[in-house]
Structure 1
Amino acid sequence: MTADRSTLATRAASAYLPEVDALRCLAMLAVIAIHSGLFPFGWTGVWLFFVISGFAVTSSLFSAKHAQHSVTRRIVNFFARRAFRIWPIYFGYIAVSAIFILAFRTPGDLAEVPWLLTFTQNIKMIIESYAPGTVWGGFAHLWTLSDEQQFYVVFPFVLLLPNRRLRTIALVGVILLAPVIRYAVASWSLDQHYDALHAAFAVYAFGPGHFDAFAAGSLIALYRQEIAANIRYAQVAAVVALAISVAYVLTYVLVNIRLSGHVSVSDTRNVLSGVLFGQGRQIWVYYVPTSLGVALLMGILVRNSALLRICNLPGLQAIGRISYGGYLYHVPVLMILGALVPALSPPITGASSYLAHILLFFATAALTVFAASLSYQYLEQPFNRFAQRRMG
């Protein structure tokens, strides 16, 4: 290893990595793009968030700063830090939404609130009310936070394992179990006589079926020093991610051709574009964004120059730091824009629809960043500083 590589590895293994914030920004923009009707693959941004989340919380838990603490204290601090980070604006958002519903909508829209308060909204949407229009739009995107919080309930038990080898085995076990869970959820959904779209959403939203994305990020954090010191690991991850993506896309394009009986542009649909079901794609599609997220994180750890140039573009890291609020607020921004400018209210049709989608995306992104910036400065940061003072 050269001295330069050694220096870079030390930095990547031990320091906060602002480039990861740039990935958060890209994930947030992808989600805004799909909800603006612009980018059908934008759902993959949620899975990038999942991988980053596993990486970030594990890096924090096993950092030198917390190494001197007992396992019990680390677990308590973990839950406390997550609560201070996630809960204030989440519950604030629910409270403001409830007031809005009571003032301007029907009380039936409040049926989601108990599930939201217990971070089980994804379960309700699976078993009761997936059909479009049955969930008030301002709440419809919060199921992903239920997935995340459900992982946080399970993850601290990894800390109870006495060494890194056993933690690795546990996380690999989670990764191997996830597709089995997705298969089981799909089978259960069909037994419940769900239609294909509802069954696909059940797999899409069931948290434990996607713990593999969080666990993959956690594994990178556990081995970040070794990864940072050896560029080959990142190169292998990139090749594997590319192979998984190409193999998946080719497989299901060929499946679609066989099902349709002819070759056409439509054969590329229902391959990566959102909630999918049939021929096993509801099990395997999630490996594409997860493997790409892993490759991106490892590329940052080894300081890949091309990736760093992208991640250091002006504004990306700053937006990434406020991306949690951005994710929370982008849906009401979309709703407000649609109410004020009906031409930008989905679904957008007509000859100029593509331009309208572009305008909707940029307007939503700009207003979302503005709202999230205010939230971060005046709401989130005070709670974060309080948590740091109390827990170190």
Structure 2
Amino acid sequence: MAVARDNQLDALRAIAVTMVLYSHFLAPNGSSFWGHIGVRLFFVLSGFLITRLLLEARAAAEFEAGPALRSFYIRRALRIFPPYFAVLGFVWLTDLEQSSGSLVWHALYLSNFWYALRNEWTPWLLCHFWSLSIEEQFYIAWPLVVLLAPRRRVEAITIGVILLSLAYRFYWPITATPALARDLLPPASMDALALGALLACRRTRGAALPQWMRLGWPALAAIFLAIEWLVPAPADPMLEWARWALLQILPLVPLVAVVAACSAGLGGALGRVFELPPLLSLGRISYSVYLYHPILLSLAVKSQPWIPLNVSEQGPGRFMVASAATIAVASISWTVFEKPLNGLKRRFPYVARHRSQARAGDAGWLGRAADAYPSGSPDGRAALDLQRTDAQR
């Protein structure tokens, strides 16, 4: 069942990144609706997977906070940094879409602050880096909480983070100045990340999803869709704020419910769909797909004279060409570049093994690939070097 659960979470990554591709390549009028949901799903996945990983490491008898933290940061760097900085290097060399002027901000994982301070999506080529910056900021701070705070307090801290994130949204009616900052500053996304973390906290102590979530998520999803599709954006600042706040908050419980269901393992026909090989393969490379897709879009548009389909505008032609090119490049990147580097993570276990355990586990390690990116954001299930089953692929 552990393998089934991991597979189904890979499928969720595939669905999330497909939403982003649809939004950026095909959606009429450049609608960001499905892309927004895809990114929020990545955040919930990230919070869940990273917290589950850290709590399992902490539960081991051989656990030590210092080595576990060091291993976490090294393993995250091995997974995230190589393709990320390869993209920045390519943009620096080519100055693609005149994007080189902001590279220092992106290199420091401050993309969200760059766009928030400017209040415009310039340069557009790297605007998707805002979510990667949010996740990196989360990766820096959250392990300190999970591994160093008293274990009995972690869940309460998680709930506090959720409440603070929700309270942040009430700042905007005071200023009445809607701006990119209200979406891009870290508190705007901490509710999704922390809700995923809360799910992991409950799972590790054997608690199920609360009944009100299990029963109420379809109604919340229906209300969210009705507001998005049927209620136009009002001109009045207070009404606009209320609509924005609801659209940010309402989808969270449905997304948590979906992650909870897949992490427990869906059965029947739906479970088989979530384990289809193409879906799992796309989920495995979803980080690279998310990372590279605007670069491939820019190159496709520049190559329009040699492409028989229309890639210069949103539509089927752009979706087919840019998506195919992105998936092809991401697949090559994963196989040739990222996967071998991920193999180095086995040198940095979260929990030190006894020599007898190490000898017994070496053969198993050789058959495992490194963990893949879970989300619009990168946070694979890093392998726990414990006596229990290793989740690394």
Query: Which bracket does the TM-score occupy, shorter chain normalised?
Result: 0.7 to 0.9
Q: Give CA-to-partner distance per residue, 1:243-293, whole Å, 9 cap, x none.
A: 22233445x47xxxxxxxxxxxx844449xxxx981422223122332222
Q: Give the drift of 1:207.
A: 1.9
SS in structure 2 at match of 1:69? coil
The corresponding residue for 1:162 is 150
- Judge which range, 297-306 or 88-97, deviates more: 297-306
Q: Which residue of 2 aligns with 1:257?
A: none
Map of 1:146-157 to 2, 5 A cutoff?
146-157=133-144
CA distance in 2, matches of 1:295, 1:97: 38
C-alpha contact 2:5 2:265 (8 A) present in aligned 1: no
Query: Shift of the alpha carbon at 1:372?
Result: 0.8
Residue 110 of structure 1 corresponds to which residue in structure 2?
Answer: 100
TM-score scaled by structure 1? Answer: 0.77
The answer as to 2:339 corresponding to 1:390 is no
Q: Does 1:29 align with 2:18?
A: yes
Query: Residue 339 of structure 1 aligns to which amino acid in structure 2?
Result: K
Give the counterpart letter for 2:300 in structure 1: L
Work out whether residues 241 and 291 of structure 1, in 8 Å CA contact, stay in contact via their aligned partners in 2: yes
User: Which residue matches 2:38?
Assistant: 45
String of CA shifts for 1:156-182, please: whole Å, max 9, x gaps: 23221122x310000011111112123
* Count of residues in Structure 1 that have an aligned counterpart in Structure 2: 337
Matched, 1:237 2:213: yes
- 2:92 maps to 98
Instruction: Supply the distance in 2 between the matched residues of 1:186 and 1:318 (Cα, whole angstroms).
Output: 44
SS at match of 2:72: helix
Name stretches of at least 5 consecutive residues in structure 1 with no aligned partner: 1-7, 191-195, 254-265, 349-356
Q: Paired residue for 2:109?
A: 119
1:332-371 superposed matches below 5 A = 332-341=295-304, 344-348=310-314, 357-371=315-329
Is the alpha carbon distance of 1:122 and 1:16 closer, same or farther for their aligned partners in structure 2, counting shifts above 3 Å? same
Partner residue of 1:55? 48
One-letter amino acid of the structure 1 residue matched with residue 154 of structure 2? R
1:64 and 1:151 mapped to 2: Cα distance? 18
Over 3 Å counting, the alpha-carbon distance change for 1:169 and 1:17 in structure 2 is same
Superimposed CA distance per residue, residues 208-233 of structure 1 (whole angstroms, 9 cap, x where no aligned partner): 22111111111222222566x85xx3
Instruction: Name the counterpart of 1:18.
Output: 7
Q: 1:234 to 1:302 in 2, by over 3 A?
A: farther
The answer to whether residue 257 in structure 2 is matched with residue 295 in structure 1 is yes
Give the conservation status (yes or no) of the 8 Å contact 2:289–2:330: yes
Task: Please state how far the C-alpha of 1:149 moved relative to its aligned partner.
Answer: 1.0
Q: 1:314 Cα shift?
A: 3.1
Q: Name the structure 2 match of 1:315.
A: 278
Matched to 2:115, the amino acid is M
The answer as to 2:341 corresponding to 1:375 is no
Secondary structure at 2:262 match in 1: helix
**Structure-2 residue corresponding to 1:5:** none
Deviation at 1:320, TM superposition (A): 0.4
Deviation at 1:65, TM superposition (A): 8.8
1:325 equivalent among 288, 291, 300? 288
Q: Is the 8 A contact 2:312 2:318 kept in 1?
A: no
User: What is the match of residue 159 of structure 2?
Assistant: 172
Asked if the contact 1:325–1:375 (Cα under 8 Å) also holds between the matched residues in 2, the reply is: yes
State the match for 1:208 in structure 2: 187
Q: Which amino acid aligns with 2:323?
A: A
Q: 1:237·1:298 contact (CA, 8 Å) conserved in 2?
A: no
Aligned residues of 1:55 and 1:219 also touching (Cα < 8 A) = yes
Change (3 A) 1:369 1:270: farther
Instruction: Give the CA deviation at 1:66.
Output: 7.3
Question: Hey, what does 1:281 align to over in structure 2?
Answer: 243
Question: Hey, what does 2:371 align to over in structure 1?
Answer: none
Give, in whole Å, the separation in 2 of the partners of 1:284 and 1:157: 31
The structural deviation recorded for 1:38 is 2.0
* Alignment correspondent of 1:139: 126
**Is this contact kept in 2: 1:97–1:138, CA < 8 A?**
no
- Judge conservation of contact 1:30–1:44 (CA < 8 Å) in 2: yes
Gaps of 5+ in 2: 350-384, 386-393
Q: Report the Cα distance in structure 2 between the residues aligned to 1:49 and 1:79, rounded to whole angstroms.
A: 20
SS at match of 2:27: coil
1:246 equivalenced with 2:233 (yes/no):
no
* Distance across 1 between alignment mates of 2:103 and 2:174: 29
Identity score, percent: 28
